[in-house]
Amino acid sequence: MKPAVILYKSLPDDLRAKLDDHFSVTEVKDVSPETVKQHAEQFASAQGLLGSGGKVDDELLAAMPALRACSTVSVGYDNFDVDALNQRHVLLMHTPTVLTETVADTMMALVLSTARRVPELDKWVKAGQWQKSVGPAEFGIDVHHKTLGILGMGRIGLALAQRAHFGFGMNILYNARRQHEEAESRFGARACDLETLLKESDFVCISLPLTEQTHHMIGAAQLKLMKPSAILINAGRGPVVDEQALTAALKDGTLHAAGLDVFEVEPVPADAEILTLPNVVALPHIGSATHETRYGMARDAVDNLIAALNGKVDKNCVNPQIQA
Protein backbone atom coordinates (compact mmCIF):
# COMPACT_ATOMS: atom_id res chain seq x y z
CA MET A 1 0.00 0.00 0.00
CA LYS A 2 1.25 3.51 -0.83
CA PRO A 3 2.00 5.77 2.14
CA ALA A 4 -0.68 8.41 2.77
CA VAL A 5 0.26 12.08 2.45
CA ILE A 6 -1.54 15.38 2.92
CA LEU A 7 -1.01 18.00 0.19
CA TYR A 8 -1.93 21.59 1.06
CA LYS A 9 -0.75 23.44 -2.03
CA SER A 10 -1.82 22.82 -5.60
CA LEU A 11 0.89 21.47 -7.84
CA PRO A 12 1.47 21.58 -11.62
CA ASP A 13 -0.19 18.53 -13.25
CA ASP A 14 3.01 16.59 -13.94
CA LEU A 15 4.25 17.02 -10.37
CA ARG A 16 0.88 16.05 -8.95
CA ALA A 17 0.99 12.90 -11.11
CA LYS A 18 4.45 12.08 -9.77
CA LEU A 19 3.22 12.52 -6.20
CA ASP A 20 0.21 10.27 -6.95
CA ASP A 21 2.59 7.60 -8.35
CA HIS A 22 4.32 7.36 -4.99
CA PHE A 23 1.64 8.17 -2.46
CA SER A 24 -2.03 8.09 -1.69
CA VAL A 25 -2.70 11.85 -1.67
CA THR A 26 -5.40 13.82 0.12
CA GLU A 27 -5.44 17.45 -1.05
CA VAL A 28 -6.74 20.02 1.43
CA LYS A 29 -6.80 23.82 1.33
CA ASP A 30 -4.58 24.46 4.38
CA VAL A 31 -3.47 23.05 7.73
CA SER A 32 -5.77 25.15 9.92
CA PRO A 33 -7.49 23.48 12.92
CA GLU A 34 -10.82 23.59 11.01
CA THR A 35 -9.34 21.72 8.04
CA VAL A 36 -7.65 19.18 10.31
CA LYS A 37 -10.97 18.56 12.08
CA GLN A 38 -12.76 18.15 8.77
CA HIS A 39 -10.22 15.56 7.49
CA ALA A 40 -9.28 14.08 10.88
CA GLU A 41 -8.88 10.50 9.63
CA GLN A 42 -6.64 11.44 6.70
CA PHE A 43 -4.45 13.66 8.90
CA ALA A 44 -4.22 10.90 11.51
CA SER A 45 -2.94 8.33 9.01
CA ALA A 46 -0.69 10.60 6.90
CA GLN A 47 3.05 9.84 6.86
CA GLY A 48 3.90 12.92 4.81
CA LEU A 49 2.84 16.57 4.61
CA LEU A 50 3.61 18.82 1.62
CA GLY A 51 2.73 22.48 1.13
CA SER A 52 3.65 25.98 2.24
CA GLY A 53 2.47 28.54 4.78
CA GLY A 54 0.46 27.81 7.90
CA LYS A 55 1.76 26.84 11.31
CA VAL A 56 3.10 23.34 11.79
CA ASP A 57 3.18 23.21 15.57
CA ASP A 58 2.58 20.81 18.45
CA GLU A 59 -1.19 21.02 18.02
CA LEU A 60 -1.05 19.95 14.37
CA LEU A 61 1.56 17.27 15.08
CA ALA A 62 -0.63 15.81 17.81
CA ALA A 63 -3.29 15.24 15.14
CA MET A 64 -0.75 13.49 12.89
CA PRO A 65 0.73 10.61 14.94
CA ALA A 66 1.89 8.69 11.84
CA LEU A 67 3.81 11.64 10.35
CA ARG A 68 7.40 10.92 9.26
CA ALA A 69 8.28 13.85 6.98
CA CYS A 70 7.19 17.42 6.16
CA SER A 71 8.19 19.02 2.88
CA THR A 72 7.80 22.79 2.62
CA VAL A 73 7.76 24.60 -0.74
CA SER A 74 10.04 27.32 0.62
CA VAL A 75 13.54 27.77 1.98
CA GLY A 76 12.33 29.61 5.10
CA TYR A 77 10.85 27.36 7.78
CA ASP A 78 10.04 29.78 10.62
CA ASN A 79 6.43 28.52 10.55
CA PHE A 80 7.60 25.06 11.71
CA ASP A 81 8.26 24.14 15.34
CA VAL A 82 11.50 22.31 14.66
CA ASP A 83 11.95 21.19 18.30
CA ALA A 84 8.52 19.57 18.23
CA LEU A 85 9.39 17.84 14.92
CA ASN A 86 12.67 16.59 16.37
CA GLN A 87 10.96 15.22 19.46
CA ARG A 88 8.61 13.25 17.23
CA HIS A 89 11.39 12.20 14.80
CA VAL A 90 9.73 13.95 11.85
CA LEU A 91 12.05 15.07 9.05
CA LEU A 92 11.70 18.63 7.72
CA MET A 93 12.63 19.13 4.06
CA HIS A 94 12.88 22.55 2.34
CA THR A 95 13.85 24.10 -1.00
CA PRO A 96 17.09 26.09 -0.74
CA THR A 97 19.31 26.88 -3.77
CA VAL A 98 16.66 26.57 -6.50
CA LEU A 99 15.28 30.04 -5.61
CA THR A 100 18.47 31.84 -4.64
CA GLU A 101 19.18 33.74 -7.88
CA THR A 102 15.54 34.75 -8.34
CA VAL A 103 15.28 36.21 -4.84
CA ALA A 104 18.54 38.12 -5.36
CA ASP A 105 17.03 39.56 -8.56
CA THR A 106 14.00 40.71 -6.57
CA MET A 107 16.23 42.39 -4.00
CA MET A 108 18.16 44.20 -6.73
CA ALA A 109 14.84 45.28 -8.26
CA LEU A 110 13.89 46.80 -4.87
CA VAL A 111 17.26 48.57 -4.62
CA LEU A 112 16.82 50.11 -8.06
CA SER A 113 13.14 50.93 -7.80
CA THR A 114 13.46 52.67 -4.42
CA ALA A 115 16.59 54.63 -5.38
CA ARG A 116 15.22 55.71 -8.76
CA ARG A 117 11.61 55.95 -7.56
CA VAL A 118 10.35 53.78 -10.39
CA PRO A 119 6.80 52.97 -9.14
CA GLU A 120 6.20 56.54 -7.94
CA LEU A 121 7.28 58.12 -11.25
CA ASP A 122 5.41 55.50 -13.28
CA LYS A 123 2.20 56.61 -11.51
CA TRP A 124 3.18 60.26 -12.03
CA VAL A 125 3.61 59.84 -15.80
CA LYS A 126 0.38 57.85 -16.16
CA ALA A 127 -1.48 60.53 -14.19
CA GLY A 128 -0.50 63.07 -16.89
CA GLN A 129 1.88 65.01 -14.63
CA TRP A 130 4.79 64.93 -17.09
CA GLN A 131 4.27 68.42 -18.54
CA LYS A 132 7.90 69.53 -18.94
CA SER A 133 11.43 68.22 -18.38
CA VAL A 134 11.86 66.73 -14.92
CA GLY A 135 13.64 68.67 -12.18
CA PRO A 136 15.06 67.91 -8.72
CA ALA A 137 11.59 67.03 -7.41
CA GLU A 138 11.71 63.91 -9.59
CA PHE A 139 15.39 63.04 -9.17
CA GLY A 140 16.50 59.84 -7.49
CA ILE A 141 19.81 58.75 -6.01
CA ASP A 142 22.61 56.74 -7.60
CA VAL A 143 23.00 53.03 -6.93
CA HIS A 144 26.30 52.36 -8.70
CA HIS A 145 29.50 52.64 -6.65
CA LYS A 146 27.58 53.13 -3.41
CA THR A 147 27.93 50.91 -0.31
CA LEU A 148 25.55 47.98 0.06
CA GLY A 149 25.31 46.29 3.47
CA ILE A 150 23.94 42.75 3.59
CA LEU A 151 22.41 41.31 6.78
CA GLY A 152 22.67 37.55 6.37
CA MET A 153 25.46 36.51 3.97
CA GLY A 154 23.95 33.12 3.14
CA ARG A 155 22.94 31.78 -0.26
CA ILE A 156 20.78 34.80 -1.15
CA GLY A 157 23.14 37.34 0.39
CA LEU A 158 26.00 35.95 -1.69
CA ALA A 159 23.96 36.13 -4.92
CA LEU A 160 22.99 39.73 -4.11
CA ALA A 161 26.63 40.63 -3.43
CA GLN A 162 27.58 39.20 -6.82
CA ARG A 163 25.04 41.40 -8.60
CA ALA A 164 25.93 44.51 -6.63
CA HIS A 165 29.69 44.07 -7.01
CA PHE A 166 29.98 43.02 -10.64
CA GLY A 167 26.89 44.75 -11.99
CA PHE A 168 27.01 48.03 -10.11
CA GLY A 169 30.58 48.41 -8.83
CA MET A 170 29.28 48.62 -5.26
CA ASN A 171 31.27 48.22 -2.06
CA ILE A 172 29.90 45.33 -0.02
CA LEU A 173 29.64 45.13 3.77
CA TYR A 174 28.08 42.18 5.52
CA ASN A 175 26.99 40.93 8.91
CA ALA A 176 26.52 37.23 9.67
CA ARG A 177 27.38 34.87 12.48
CA ARG A 178 30.51 33.56 10.80
CA GLN A 179 33.05 34.79 8.28
CA HIS A 180 32.26 34.24 4.59
CA GLU A 181 35.53 33.84 2.74
CA GLU A 182 33.90 33.40 -0.67
CA ALA A 183 32.14 36.78 -0.36
CA GLU A 184 35.38 38.41 0.75
CA SER A 185 37.59 36.95 -1.98
CA ARG A 186 35.12 37.18 -4.89
CA PHE A 187 33.33 40.42 -4.12
CA GLY A 188 35.72 42.23 -1.76
CA ALA A 189 33.01 42.07 0.93
CA ARG A 190 33.99 43.29 4.40
CA ALA A 191 32.61 41.64 7.54
CA CYS A 192 31.49 44.12 10.19
CA ASP A 193 29.34 44.39 13.27
CA LEU A 194 25.74 45.45 12.91
CA GLU A 195 26.35 48.99 14.13
CA THR A 196 29.16 49.64 11.63
CA LEU A 197 27.13 48.17 8.78
CA LEU A 198 24.14 50.37 9.59
CA LYS A 199 26.27 53.51 9.90
CA GLU A 200 28.26 53.03 6.70
CA SER A 201 25.77 51.55 4.22
CA ASP A 202 23.79 53.48 1.62
CA PHE A 203 21.58 50.40 1.15
CA VAL A 204 20.91 47.93 3.97
CA CYS A 205 19.57 44.68 2.53
CA ILE A 206 18.05 42.00 4.77
CA SER A 207 18.24 38.36 3.69
CA LEU A 208 17.96 36.86 7.17
CA PRO A 209 15.75 34.02 8.38
CA LEU A 210 13.25 34.78 11.15
CA THR A 211 14.46 33.33 14.45
CA GLU A 212 14.30 34.36 18.10
CA GLN A 213 17.62 36.13 17.55
CA THR A 214 16.60 38.04 14.40
CA HIS A 215 13.09 39.07 15.54
CA HIS A 216 13.05 42.92 15.55
CA MET A 217 16.79 42.99 14.96
CA ILE A 218 16.09 46.31 13.25
CA GLY A 219 14.12 48.65 15.52
CA ALA A 220 14.07 52.38 16.28
CA ALA A 221 17.59 52.42 17.75
CA GLN A 222 19.09 50.63 14.73
CA LEU A 223 17.22 52.81 12.22
CA LYS A 224 18.64 55.91 13.93
CA LEU A 225 22.16 54.64 13.22
CA MET A 226 21.51 54.64 9.46
CA LYS A 227 22.30 57.62 7.21
CA PRO A 228 19.25 59.83 6.52
CA SER A 229 19.99 59.21 2.82
CA ALA A 230 19.98 55.41 3.29
CA ILE A 231 17.48 52.88 1.97
CA LEU A 232 16.34 49.71 3.75
CA ILE A 233 15.43 46.61 1.75
CA ASN A 234 13.77 43.64 3.46
CA ALA A 235 13.24 40.37 1.62
CA GLY A 236 14.00 38.10 4.60
CA ARG A 237 10.98 38.01 6.88
CA GLY A 238 8.77 40.93 7.97
CA PRO A 239 9.24 40.57 11.75
CA VAL A 240 13.01 41.02 11.44
CA VAL A 241 12.11 44.73 11.23
CA ASP A 242 9.91 46.57 13.73
CA GLU A 243 7.42 47.90 11.17
CA GLN A 244 6.01 50.57 13.46
CA ALA A 245 9.50 51.96 14.06
CA LEU A 246 10.22 51.78 10.34
CA THR A 247 7.04 53.69 9.51
CA ALA A 248 8.02 56.44 11.97
CA ALA A 249 11.57 56.61 10.59
CA LEU A 250 10.33 56.92 7.02
CA LYS A 251 7.91 59.68 8.02
CA ASP A 252 10.32 61.80 10.05
CA GLY A 253 13.27 61.63 7.65
CA THR A 254 15.46 59.30 9.75
CA LEU A 255 15.53 57.11 6.65
CA HIS A 256 15.22 57.98 2.96
CA ALA A 257 13.16 55.05 1.67
CA ALA A 258 12.34 51.36 2.04
CA GLY A 259 11.73 48.47 -0.34
CA LEU A 260 9.73 45.70 1.26
CA ASP A 261 8.86 42.25 -0.06
CA VAL A 262 7.84 41.04 3.40
CA PHE A 263 5.73 42.47 6.23
CA GLU A 264 5.05 41.74 9.88
CA VAL A 265 1.52 40.61 8.96
CA GLU A 266 0.93 39.03 5.54
CA PRO A 267 -1.00 39.92 3.52
CA VAL A 268 -0.23 43.42 4.81
CA PRO A 269 -3.56 45.06 5.77
CA ALA A 270 -4.70 47.46 3.04
CA ASP A 271 -5.03 50.27 5.59
CA ALA A 272 -1.51 49.87 7.03
CA GLU A 273 0.09 53.30 7.38
CA ILE A 274 3.33 52.13 5.78
CA LEU A 275 1.49 51.65 2.47
CA THR A 276 0.52 55.34 2.38
CA LEU A 277 4.14 56.51 2.28
CA PRO A 278 5.48 57.59 -1.13
CA ASN A 279 9.02 56.51 -0.17
CA VAL A 280 7.97 52.86 0.26
CA VAL A 281 8.01 50.31 -2.54
CA ALA A 282 5.83 47.38 -1.46
CA LEU A 283 5.73 43.91 -3.01
CA PRO A 284 3.46 40.97 -2.05
CA HIS A 285 6.16 38.51 -0.95
CA ILE A 286 7.24 37.69 -4.51
CA GLY A 287 10.92 37.06 -3.88
CA SER A 288 10.86 33.67 -5.63
CA ALA A 289 7.67 34.17 -7.63
CA THR A 290 8.63 33.50 -11.24
CA HIS A 291 7.12 30.66 -13.29
CA GLU A 292 10.48 28.91 -13.59
CA THR A 293 11.49 29.17 -9.96
CA ARG A 294 8.13 28.31 -8.44
CA TYR A 295 8.02 25.23 -10.67
CA GLY A 296 11.54 24.29 -9.54
CA MET A 297 10.58 24.71 -5.89
CA ALA A 298 7.49 22.52 -6.27
CA ARG A 299 9.55 19.89 -8.13
CA ASP A 300 12.19 19.87 -5.38
CA ALA A 301 9.51 19.66 -2.66
CA VAL A 302 7.99 16.58 -4.31
CA ASP A 303 11.42 14.94 -4.74
CA ASN A 304 12.31 15.84 -1.15
CA LEU A 305 9.21 14.09 0.21
CA ILE A 306 9.83 11.00 -1.91
CA ALA A 307 13.45 10.84 -0.68
CA ALA A 308 12.44 11.42 2.96
CA LEU A 309 9.73 8.75 3.02
CA ASN A 310 12.07 6.31 1.27
CA GLY A 311 14.90 6.91 3.76
CA LYS A 312 17.13 8.42 1.06
CA VAL A 313 17.75 11.94 2.33
CA ASP A 314 21.05 13.42 1.12
CA LYS A 315 20.20 17.15 0.82
CA ASN A 316 17.58 19.83 1.57
CA CYS A 317 16.95 18.53 5.08
CA VAL A 318 16.70 20.91 8.04
CA ASN A 319 17.08 18.22 10.74
CA PRO A 320 19.06 15.29 9.21
CA GLN A 321 20.43 14.39 12.66
CA ILE A 322 17.13 12.75 13.64
CA GLN A 323 17.69 9.95 11.08
CA ALA A 324 20.40 8.34 13.24
Ligand X SMILES: NC(=O)C1=CN([C@@H]2O[C@H](COP(=O)(O)OP(=O)(O)OC[C@H]3O[C@@H](n4cnc5c(N)ncnc54)[C@H](OP(=O)(O)O)[C@@H]3O)[C@@H](O)[C@H]2O)C=CC1
Could you give the residue numbers annotated as active site?
A: 237, 266, 285
Pick the closest to residue 50 from 88, 93, 20 (CA basis): 93
The correct pick among 46, 60, 70, 75 for binding ligand X (CB under 6 A) is: 75
* Residue 263 beta carbon to ligand X: minimum distance, rounded to whole angstroms: 10
Residue type, 142: D
Pick the closest to residue 197 from 168, 219, 227, 167 (CA basis): 227
CA distances for 210 relative to 83, 102, 244, 259, angstroms: 15, 20, 18, 18
Instruction: Closer to ligand LL5AMS7Z by CB, 82 or 191: give it.
Output: 82
53 binds ligand X, rule: CB under 6 A: no
76 binds ligand LL5AMS7Z, rule: CB under 6 A: yes
Can you list the positions of beta strands (E) in the chain?
Answer: 4-7, 24-27, 48-51, 69-72, 91-93, 147-151, 171-175, 190-191, 203-206, 231-234, 257-260, 280-282
Partner from ligand LL5AMS7Z, ligand X, none contacting 214, C-beta within 5 to 8 A by type? ligand X
The correct pick among 47, 234, 288, 319 for binding ligand LL5AMS7Z (CB under 6 A) is: 288
Euclidean distance between CA atoms 296 and 138, whole angstroms: 40
Residues numbered 96-125 forming contacts with ligand LL5AMS7Z, rule: CB under 6 A:
99
The correct pick among 116, 155, 216, 251 for binding ligand X (CB under 6 A) is: 155
CA 63 to chain centre: 28
93 binds ligand LL5AMS7Z, rule: CB under 6 A: no
Euclidean distance between CA atoms 37 and 43, whole angstroms: 9
Pick the closest to residue 152 from 171, 175, 173 (CA basis): 175
Stretch that binds ligand LL5AMS7Z, among 29-37, 73-81, 121-129, 239-247 (CB under 6 A): 73-81
153 binds ligand X, rule: CB under 6 A: yes
207 binds ligand LL5AMS7Z, rule: CB under 6 A: no
113 binds ligand X, rule: CB under 6 A: no
CA distances for 306 relative to 1, 2, 90, 151, 299, angstroms: 15, 11, 14, 34, 11
Residues that bind ligand LL5AMS7Z (CB under 6 A): 74-76, 99, 287-288
Residues that bind ligand X (CB under 6 A): 75-76, 96, 99-100, 103, 152-157, 175-178, 207-211, 213-214, 235-237, 261-262, 285, 287-288
